[in-house]
Amino acid sequence: MTQTRRGFIASGAAGLVTLAAPAIAAQSAVQRNVSALQKIDWRDHFDALGVGVIVADTSARAVHFWGGDGETYRLYPSSVPVSPELTKLGYTEVVRKVDGPTWTPTPSMRERDPSLPAVVPAGPGNPLGTHALYLSWQYYRIHGTHDTRKIGRPSSDGCIGLYNEHIAKLFALAEVGTQVRLI
* Residue 85: predicted pLDDT: 85
Asked whether the predicted pLDDT for residue 33 surpasses 60, the reply is: no
* Residue 11: predicted pLDDT: 57
Mean pLDDT of 101-126: 92
**Catalytic member of 45, 64, 131, 159:** 159
Mean pLDDT of 164-175: 98
Question: What's the pLDDT band for 173 if we cut at 50, 70, 90?
Answer: very high
Q: Where are the beta strands (DSSP E) in the chain?
A: 52-57, 62-67, 73-77, 80-81, 90-99, 131-135, 141-145, 154-156, 160-163, 179-182
Using left for φ > 0, alpha for ψ between -120 and 50, and beta otherwise, residue 58 falls in alpha
143 in catalytic set:
yes
Q: Tell me which amino acid residue 150 is.
A: K
**Catalytic member of 45, 64, 131, 143:** 143
Question: What's the pLDDT band for 1 if we cut at 50, 70, 90?
Answer: low
Question: What's the pLDDT band for 130 if we cut at 50, 70, 90?
Answer: very high
Q: 42-182: what fold?
A: L,D-transpeptidase catalytic domain-like (2.40.440)
Kindly compute the dihedral angle of the four CA atoms of residues 171, 128, 157, 175, in this order, to the nearest 10 degrees.
-20
Encode pLDDT of 36-85 as tens digits: 578 899 999 999 999 999 999 999 999 999 999 999 999 999 999 998 88
pTM greater than 0.75 (yes/no): yes
